[in-house]
Amino acid sequence: MVDSPIAKVFTSAGSETGEMALDPTIFGIEPNTDVMHQVVTAQRAAARSGSASTKTRAEVRGGGRKPWRQKGLGRARHGSIRSPQWKGGGVAHGPKPRSYAQRTPKKMKRLALRSALSVRAAADAIKIVDSFEWEGPKTKSALALLEGMGIEGKALFVLSPSDHIAQLSVRNLPGVNALTVGQLNTYDVLWADAVVFTADTIGMIGGGTTTYQVADDDFVRDEGDES
C-alpha cells in the first residue's frame, strides 16, 4: 500500500481550487496487470453479440439427389452437390450463434477496477470537479473545462444521475465518454487518458471505506448471477 494519492479539484469553469486526498484502498493499491488483462478480455468478449451464423450442408438449398452414379465414370464419387467442397455447398465447422461470456469472479472484477483507478491516480490522471454550475447544456462549457484541467486525450466523466446538464454537454465531444458511478468498469477507465469525477461521485467510489461495489452492467457475468 502506498501513501494516499492526491487529485486536483477544479471548478466547472476549469479553475483549480485545491487538492483532495483519495482513498488509498481504491486509488493507491499496487496494480495487478494480469487481473486487469483477464477482466478486460472477459468484458470485451461478453459484449460480443455472438450472432455470426453459417449454414451446414443440411441447411442449404438443393442437393437432394446424387449428382452422378457411384462407379464407372472415372470421376470422384459424390453424394450431394451441397457438400462443403462444392460451390454453394454448406460450410464445414462454420460459426453458429453462441455466447462468448466468461465467468469472472467478483473479487477479480473489484481488484481489476481498483487497479485501473490506481494506475490513473499514479499518473495524476484523476481530476475532480467540485460541482457543475452550468445554466444549460453547452459543449463550449465542457471544452473550457477540459482545457482548464489540461486534458488533451480521451476523457471519462463519472457523473451522478443528477448531473444531466453535464452529461448533455460532453456527449458530443469526440474522445469523451460519460458514465454514472454504477456503470464504472475497468475497460472504460483504462480506455481514458484522464478520469473526471465530481465531488459527489468521488465520495461514492472511496468514501473512506473498502466496501466497494463493481458496476452491475459491466458486461461481465458470474454463473448464477441474476443480473
CATH code of the domain in which 13 resides: 3.40.1370.10
What's the predicted TM-score (pTM) here? 0.78
Mean pLDDT of 137-149: 94
Q: Is residue 44 part of a domain?
A: yes
Residue 63's pLDDT is what? 87
pLDDT value at 92 more than 50: yes
Q: Cell 450463434, residue?
A: 97
Q: How confident is the model at residue 22 (pLDDT cuts 50, 70, 90)?
A: very high
Question: Do 132 and 20 lie in a common domain?
Answer: yes
Name the burial class of residue 222, with classes exposed (0-12), middle (13-18) and buried (19+) by CB atoms within 10 angstroms of its CB: middle
Question: Do 35 and 78 lie in a common domain?
Answer: no
Question: Do 89 and 151 lie in a common domain?
Answer: no
Select from 25, 224, 1, 209 the least CA-distant residue to 113: 25
Question: Do 120 and 82 lie in a common domain?
Answer: no
Distance CA 222, CA 99 (A): 13
Name the burial class of residue 136, with classes exposed (0-12), middle (13-18) and buried (19+) by CB atoms within 10 angstroms of its CB: exposed
| Whole-number average pLDDT of the chain | 88
Distance CA 64, CA 80 (A): 7
Q: What is the dihedral of CA 70, 73, 77, 78, to 10 degrees?
A: -80
Question: Do 87 and 161 lie in a common domain?
Answer: no
Mean pLDDT of 33-38: 96
H or E segment and range at residue 110: helix 106-122
The parent domain of residue 184 ranges over 6-49+102-205
Residue 203's pLDDT is what? 85
Number of folded domains that form the chain: 2
Mean pLDDT of 17-32: 93
Q: How confident is the model at residue 2 (pLDDT cuts 50, 70, 90)?
A: low
Distance CA 119, CA 129 (A): 20
Select from 165, 159, 144, 167 the least CA-distant residue to 202: 159
Question: Do 143 and 118 lie in a common domain?
Answer: yes
Question: Do 86 and 106 lie in a common domain?
Answer: no
The total number of residues written for the chain in this structure:
227
Residue 109's pLDDT is what? 94
Distance CA 148, CA 142 (A): 10
